[in-house]
A and B are shown apart, each in its own frame.
Chain A
Amino acid sequence: MFIKLEQVSFTYLSGTPLAVKALKDINLEIERGESIGIVGRTGCGKSTLIQHFNALLIPESGRVLVDGVDTSEKKAPLREIRRRVGLVFQYPEDQFFEESVFQEVAFAPRNLGIEGKELEDRVKWSLEAVGLDFATIKDRSPFELSGGQMRRVAIASILSMEPEALVLDEPTAGLDPEGKGIILNQLKELQKEKNLTLILVSHSMEDLARVAQRLIVMDEGRIELDDDIRRIFSQVERIKELGIFPPVTAQVAWLLRERGFDVDPGVLTPRELAEEIHLKVLEGKKVNVG
């Protein structure tokens, strides 16, 4: 068990008239190498939850174990926990402050005391892991890049700590479809190659369908559903109640089911959907087009 939450509750501004209960009694287990999506309405506690994974927030009650280490312990090695569980915030390019991309990506490993050749190797590896060319980009200012490039540099600036888990809050928000595609593909590859634990918060079911295997649906500070992503997308009615709209592929499959076709609603990609329709609706018939 890599990350484990036991009956975690959290309240913002605890003890004031403005107190807001953000997490209620959360139990969660995350294995190494899993790829998980977290969804829910705005304000359902997603961001609060992920900040517990790397000890930026300490639970009010209950406990969070990262590889067996309790984050609420007084002498918990917080920096080590934050290195192992890398957290990429929403709009991470807002945190840029260095003169060059190299310095920006080198900030985190430098804070861990890494210098010289190893530092350079790490920066190079991280930038290449997000699909950027080290030689051409390293000396540019992080502020003059395109939106998609900025986002990738920001992700690289966390990858350079060589985390074992990567948690991303809305990593594709505000990007064009091309930029989105690049980032999602790189993340998927990283997860496979490095056995990286990947946790993605997103409002885009299409994005999650491409990357995640397991889905956690939250509502009002609680985990309402936690299951295989295909099984969750098959429960169209239930997840709509929770403010989640399944990807278009699953919706089309569901509409076909309503019309009496035995189509699997747990289809994630257009290719899978086409296959299902071909097999179960058209019964393998080929129609000459044009």
Chain B
Amino acid sequence: MWGNSFAIGQYIPLNSPIHRLDPRVKIVFVGISIINLFILQDWLSFLLWGGVILLLAFLSHISFGYLLKSLRPLLFLLILTLVLHFFFTPGEYIWEYGFLHISREGISKGLLIVVRLCLLILVTAILTLTTSPVELTDGIEYLLSPLKRWGFPAHELAMMMTIALRFIPTLLEEAERILKAQTARGMDLESGGLVQKAKNMIPLLVPLFVNSFKRADELAIAMESRCYRGGQGRTRLRVLQLRAPDYYFLIFSFSFVTLLSVRFFL
């Protein structure tokens, strides 16, 4: 019923200072963090960033261990990056075997890039763990709304995202339910070659699609019967408003990022 294991994008409803921040502030913070982390390349800056992430995790009441779990889906990518850098960076070789060699530069560069990736993932995980999907799309819609002037469908895009996000857990739940129902009927997913394995998925995929179409139909009718006609003239239940903590957070994050960038460029 509740089963799913990917932490990326899984909102944890708590009431912490970070949860209460305006979603726009958090999105802007993640944006400038990503740019900053791509510019920086020294250990001291990364160490400071690590400290900031620890502080944010502490303030958001999310256990650091749980936050680290968001790295797991990308573990393979991280290890691959590390290995590729170890073996394929030219420089002063400290280990050689046939055509394989590891260079000192490779080790430091590989580690640096992997740490950078980890920091990037953690920063985004803090955003998605502390911001509900609805707040997130509200924030994105607001930040994209200046583009409406040039015909950019900001509201429609946000609505599509909201609906998609809203139905991810539903779809997962449904997939689990159908998987269980078919397992109770003796369904076998493992046996057979590649083609057979693909065929084994049919009892799972057909009901999932059929039910999704049904649900989409019902949702469209439900929206129309509540007079939904797109974004024109639509008001909000929860108007986003910046409060004092939002300003403090913005000032802090901008000064932190500027400080690190200035230090880097000098």
A: which residues have CB within 8 A of B?
Answer: 12-13, 16-18, 20, 47-48, 51, 54, 56, 79, 82-83, 86-87, 89, 92, 94-97, 107-108, 111-112, 143, 157-158, 161
B188 within 8 A of A: yes
B170 within 8 A of A: no
A94 touching B185, Cβ below 8 Å: no
Q: How far is the CA of A158 from the CA of B185 in the complex (A)?
A: 6
Other A-B contacts than A56-B180, A89-B177, A158-B184, 5 sampled, CB-CB below 8 A, are A18-B12, A89-B181, A94-B174, A94-B181, A108-B186
Given A87-B184, A108-B185, also A94-B207 (CB < 8 A): yes
Q: How far is the CA of A82 from the CA of B184 in the complex (A)?
A: 6
B185 touching A97, Cβ below 8 Å: no
- Give 6 closest A-B pairs by Cβ, nearest first: A111-B186, A97-B206, A108-B185, A95-B181, A87-B184, A12-B2
Q: How far is the CB of B199 from chain A (nearest CB, A)?
A: 12
A56 touching B1, Cβ below 8 Å: no
- List 24 A-B residue pairs with CB atoms under 8 Å apart, sorted by A's residue number: A12-B2, A13-B3, A16-B66, A17-B62, A18-B2, A20-B2, A47-B1, A48-B1, A54-B184, A56-B180, A56-B183, A56-B184, A82-B183, A89-B180, A94-B181, A95-B185, A95-B203, A96-B206, A96-B207, A97-B203, A97-B206, A97-B207, A107-B186, A143-B210
Residues of A with C-beta under 8 A to B187: 107, 111
Q: How far is the CA of A92 from the CA of B62 in the complex (A)?
A: 39
Given A13-B3, A47-B1, A97-B206, also A83-B12 (CB < 8 A): no
Q: How far is the CA of A47 from the CA of B177 in the complex (A)?
A: 11
Closest residue of chain A to B183 (Cβ to Cβ) is A56
A95 touching B2, Cβ below 8 Å: no
Q: How far is the CA of A20 from the CA of B187 in the complex (A)?
A: 28
Q: How far is the CA of A97 from the CA of B209 in the complex (A)?
A: 10
Interface size grouping (class) on chain B? 20 to 34
Residues of B with C-beta under 8 A to A87: 184
Residues of A with C-beta under 8 A to B210: 96-97, 143
Instruction: Name the residue among B180, B182, B186 with the largest chain A CB count within 10 angstroms.
Output: B186
Q: How far is the CA of A133 from the CA of B206 in the complex (A)?
A: 26
Per-residue interface assignment for chain B, residues 105 to 136, with 1 indicating a CB less than 8 Å from any chain A CB and 0 otherwise: 00000000000000000000000000000000
Closest residue of chain A to B203 (Cβ to Cβ) is A97
Partner of A95, one of B182, B188, B202: B182
Q: How far is the CB of A119 from chain B (nearest CB, A)?
A: 13
Residues of chain B from 146 to 179 with CB closer than 8 A to chain A in the complex: 174, 177-178
Residues of A with C-beta under 8 A to B202: 97
Closest residue of chain B to A85 (Cβ to Cβ) is B184
A51 touching B180, Cβ below 8 Å: yes
Q: How far is the CB of A244 from chain B (nearest CB, A)?
A: 22
Q: How far is the CB of A103 from chain B (nearest CB, A)?
A: 11
Q: How far is the CA of A245 from the CA of B185 in the complex (A)?
A: 34
Q: How far is the CA of A112 from the CA of B185 in the complex (A)?
A: 9
B145 within 8 A of A: no
A17 touching B63, Cβ below 8 Å: yes
Q: How far is the CA of A111 from the CA of B186 in the complex (A)?
A: 6
B184 touching A89, Cβ below 8 Å: yes
Q: How far is the CA of A47 from the CA of B62 in the complex (A)?
A: 31
Q: How far is the CA of A215 from the CA of B211 in the complex (A)?
A: 33
Given A17-B66, A20-B2, A94-B207, also A86-B184 (CB < 8 A): yes
Residues of B with C-beta under 8 A to A83: 186
Residues of A with C-beta under 8 A to B207: 94-97
A161 touching B2, Cβ below 8 Å: no
Closest residue of chain B to A78 (Cβ to Cβ) is B183
Closest residue of chain A to B2 (Cβ to Cβ) is A12
Q: How far is the CB of A201 from chain B (nearest CB, A)?
A: 14
